[in-house]
Chains A and B, each alone.
Chain A
Amino acid sequence: MPYTAEKPTPRETPEQLRARIPGWGADLDPADRPSYPKEQFLPTGAHWDFPERQVEKWPRERSIEHAFVTPVFGTSTPPKGLSGVIRKYAYRRFSEARAAHWLLLIAADRVDTAESAVTALLRGKPDNPVTETGILAESSPVADRVGQQRADAGHHALDPVIVAAPWVIGGGLAFSAVRALVRRRRG
């Protein structure tokens, strides 16, 4: 009880635990734990002081908290379109310390999704919401949803609202903008 000096009595002795659990106490000595001490030099296999620099195939966006583009970097998906403009601005203007940096990047992600859907359609490889959402797993033999616990059941009712809301609001704003433009031209 914390109201007195005694620590609660352990339920099981070390002998009982050792008998019940394979390997109990094998790393009881902190020296056996791989991250002890926290910071120490271990041979890494590196045979350079500073790595040779990877060639930049486009001006690589970087955090302004870095002194320069790191010697090695990913080239997965270069920025493109309006989302690319937003991303490059977020990196150029705001540090990682600023919420604006992350909020702009998240906004760019949503723009990227819309842009990519349109581009895929124009290229003849349109998105297929049935196959891409994996919803077919609901009816496959390995995914019987009846009588099973689901992680997403608690907010099923709310999900359509949250998923649809940006599209409804965005559509409404676009409609209002077009209508205002048409009225201005007429008027």
Chain B
Amino acid sequence: MRAMVYRGPYRVRVEEKDVPPIEHPNDAIVRVTAAAICGSDLHLYHGLMPDTRVGMTFGHEFIGVVEEVGSSVQNLKRGDRVMVPFNIFCGSCYFCTRGLYANCHNVNPNATAVGGIYGYSHTAGGYDGGQAEFVRVPFADVGPTIIPDWMSDEDAVMLTDALPTGYFGAQLGEIAEGDTVVVFGAGPIGLYAAKSSWLMGAGRVIVIDHLEYRLEKARTFAHAETYNFTEYDDIVVHLKKITDHLGADVAIDAVGAEADGNLLQHVTATKLKLQGGSPIALNWAIDSVRKAGTISVMGAYGPMFSAVKFGDAMNKGLTLRMNQCHVKRQWPRLFEHIQAGYLNPSDIVTHRIPLEHIAEGYHLFSAKLDECIKPIIIPTAS
């Protein structure tokens, strides 16, 4: 089969690999019909995530058709069109039985701090991902769901990570009616978080970024008030000024490890790898939210330490909430919102790229060329 393969920082190519075999009785092999590149894939692509091995296939956002099932699979059969959450989870451990699918303890021998994620380094379990023609899907009775007939492929791909994560980010903010919400980052997660904040009753939604085309999308797609941080000497002061010097009630970090906006943080984290990530957006969130406010962290960071302003967070009495999204738990409600017309996930898809051109796709997304917001990868065999 053809599959994307990591060759080292900033380098990927498409290679011929063996079709993955069934390795566990509850495995399924899925023929991928569409995948996406996630902003967090760029952390791998840039060599930021420890134990990212040459030869691995990335991709934790994908849908496809079931090709083969293991002997204990009861809920899926060959030919089913399925969407697969980015979390790999067993459904029976301490965490899964409490709805914390992202924190499953039975799928990642490499680390206890993170669950299993498709194509996301050995730090997340060492599973190959879906930017390929075929992918192994463990716990087929637990993770995948048959895509409803009314749902488009691109909406389904967005539901495997980006939309649930953005929506989850708004949920963790515990937004109350009339709250002012500031979202850092106008990428896919930030756009969905901003849009979801309205569903939870926000009175005002502000989005911060430095790319004008993404801020334009935040205005049109998410009805948000936007500010370009490069136009202000100090974005925190500006946010205080526009919130009557109180600060926002809720701040959502939808940027994570590779934030721009502070050269020292950016270089030490993303270039020299001396931090788990550059917490610029997180620090801005800490500083710009009101005292006793809530911060929701959806941005992905590496497992190493980062220079976070915890002193200010403590002194301000902030509530910091964070986790990887428990994707499948979000689906029923998100399906309702899509059918009601409240959410249109595929509106943010900007590029459809054949698998054979995935190297260009990664560069395009990484450098934010051609006003790229969300690229979809189409495997050859689909």
Please report A residues at the B interface, Cβ cutoff 8 Å. Answer: 1-3, 7-8, 10-12, 14, 17, 20-28, 30, 32-36, 38-42, 44-52, 54-55, 60-63, 65-66, 69-77, 79, 83, 87, 91, 96, 99, 102-103, 105-106, 108-110, 112-113, 115-117, 120, 127-129, 131-138, 140, 142-145, 148-152, 154-155, 158-159, 162
The minimal Cβ–Cβ distance linking A148 to chain B, given in whole angstroms, is 7
Judging by beta carbons under 8 Å apart, are B109 and A23 in contact?
Answer: no
**Secondary structure type dominating chain B contacts:** loop
Chain B interface size range: 35 or more
A-B contact pairs, 22 of them (CB 8 A): A1-B245, A8-B246, A27-B333, A28-B177, A28-B200, A35-B329, A46-B91, A48-B92, A50-B92, A52-B25, A60-B109, A62-B109, A74-B126, A91-B110, A96-B111, A96-B113, A99-B305, A105-B50, A134-B360, A138-B363, A143-B360, A150-B369
Which of A3, A55, A102, A155 meets B304, CB within 8 Å? A102
**B residues near A120, Cβ cutoff 8 Å:** 7
Tell yes or no: B57 within 8 A of A by CB: yes
Q: Is the CB of A113 within 8 A of B177?
A: no
Give chain A nearest CB distance to B29 CB in angstroms. 13
Pick from B23, B199, B343: contact of A24, CB below 8 A: B199
Q: Which residues of A contact B10 (CB under 8 A)?
A: 133
Least CB distance from B359 to A in Å reads 4
Q: Which of A34, A36, A110, A145 contacts B369 (CB 8 A)?
A: A145
From B51, B74, B260, B334, contact of A154 by CB (8 A):
B260
The answer on a CB contact under 8 Å between B11 and A26 is no
Query: Taking A2-B246, A17-B198, A142-B364 as contacts, is the C-beta distance between A113 and B24 under 8 angstroms?
Result: no
| Residue of B110, B199, B200, B244 with highest tally of chain A CB at under 10 A | B110
Which secondary structure dominates chain A's binding surface? loop
Question: A70-B107, A113-B9 known; 5 other A-B pairs, CB under 8 Å?
Answer: A17-B198, A34-B329, A42-B329, A73-B126, A134-B360
User: A23's contact among B199, B246, B247, by CB below 8 Å, is which?
Assistant: B199
Which of A21, A128, A144, A154 is within 8 Å of B223, CB to CB? Answer: A21
Q: Which of B61-69, B147-155, B266-274, B280-288 contacts A (4 or more CB under 8 A)?
A: B266-274
Please, which residues of chain A bring their CB within 8 A of the CB of B263? 154-155
The yes or no answer to B125 lying at the interface (CB within 8 A) is yes
Determine if A106 and B273 form an interchain contact, defined as CB atoms under 8 angstroms apart.
yes
Q: What chain B residues lie within 8 Å of A62 (beta carbons)?
A: 109-110
Whether A28 and B201, one on each chain, are in contact in the complex, defined by CB atoms closer than 8 angstroms, is: yes
Q: Which residue of B lies closest to A128 (CB)?
A: B13
